[in-house]
Structure 1
Amino acid sequence: MLIVIGGLPATGKTTLSRLLASRTNGVHLRVDTIEQAIVHSGLARHPVGPVGYVVGYALAEEQLRQGLTVIAESVNPLAVTRDAWRDAAVRAGVPVLEVEVLCSDKDEHRHRARSRSVDIPDLPLPDWEQIVGRDYEPWNRDYLVVDTAGQEPEDSLAPLIEAVLSAERG
């Protein structure tokens, strides 16, 4: 199955995606990693535009066709990006679970944004003003919301695991 994890920067997407990948033996596909590899190639500079997502869709579909569970993590701010992830799952003939990770406590979210460290060399992290000023379209279909505010990652992971198990059962 394809599990699409989206949400603003510094909400906990990467932490949850990594935990979920380890629990499901899934492939964690991170658009930040793809984009930074493109930048390191010398072919582009930040922001790279849609290319990282397009590569991500292709990689996700290839892994899904091999029977693997894919956790696709990105900000996923637009309906068109959400549709493209879903289309990759449809073409591969697998179910898709769409998840928005948020941190409803603005002070906690701001603190996370200001105190986090870079885990991909040379990846520029957005500052708080860039995060809250970002274009981010509302979701237009059913999806799971995971609010990480005031929780440990394992607590935030629990409803996600439950949703994955439910989706696998059909």
Structure 2
Amino acid sequence: MLSGLPGSGKSTLAQKMSDHTGAILLRIDVFEQDLRNANGDTFDVGTQGYQIGYDLARHHLLKGKDVIADAVNAVEPARTGWRAIAEETGTQIIEIEVVCTNEDEAAQRLRTRETGIDGLLPVMPQDRRKRTWEPNSLSSGTVDTAGRPISDCVDDLLRLVKQTG
């Protein structure tokens, strides 16, 4: 489970990890935007995107596949959902926080990123700063992407997974 605020680099890392490991990538932004695309731009997705992610994680984990959950996971109830699926399926969960400690760099990423998700509106830097973030006492570690090549961040992520797994 990768958690982090928008602009932290978690989706980029999640995709690289999926490419490297063959794990199924579940990106909550995709599920939430699919719901908006189907129901209108003002549709309140609430927790439905996460529920879709939990259901898909359960499905793939029961088939013996590894899963990477890519979501903000800013609050404990979101993280608890992933933990419940891991427990239900008898699989291990590794929780890693992705941060970008350079606010200017994170803001620049948000202004210039291409999400690859049809219809997804950009997150504005001021919205990132206003986001609620509850510390995760069960996190296995943190990867700080600020000022670093993505390959080094992937190496850190792989090291954390290996140490925990």
Deviation at 1:47, TM superposition (A): 4.3
Which residue pairs with 1:103 in the alignment?
100
Matched, 1:80 2:77: yes
Q: Which residue of the other structure, out of 5, 8, 16, is the alignment partner of 2:5?
A: 8
Q: Aligned residues, how many?
A: 165
Q: Which residue of the other structure, out of 59, 71, 75, is the alignment partner of 2:56?
A: 59
Question: Which stretch has the larger CA shift, 117-126 or 55-64?
Answer: 117-126
Deviation at 1:115, TM superposition (A): 1.7
Which residue pairs with 1:131 in the alignment?
128
Deviation at 1:46, TM superposition (A): 4.9
Deviation at 1:163, TM superposition (A): 2.0
Deviation at 1:44, TM superposition (A): 7.3
Flag structure 1 segments of 5+ consecutive residues without an equivalent. none
Q: Percent identity?
A: 33
Deviation at 1:118, TM superposition (A): 3.2
Question: Which stretch has the larger CA shift, 115-124 or 28-37?
Answer: 115-124
Partner amino acid, structure 1, of 2:46: G
The alignment's TM-score, normalised by the length of structure 1, stands at: 0.91
Which residue pairs with 1:120 in the alignment?
117
Distance 1:82 1:129, change over 3 A: same
The alignment's TM-score, normalised by the length of structure 2, stands at: 0.94
Root-mean-square deviation (CA), in Å? Answer: 1.5
Which residue pairs with 1:18 in the alignment?
15
Counterpart Cα distance in 2 of 1:134 and 1:142: 19
Partner amino acid, structure 2, of 1:6: S
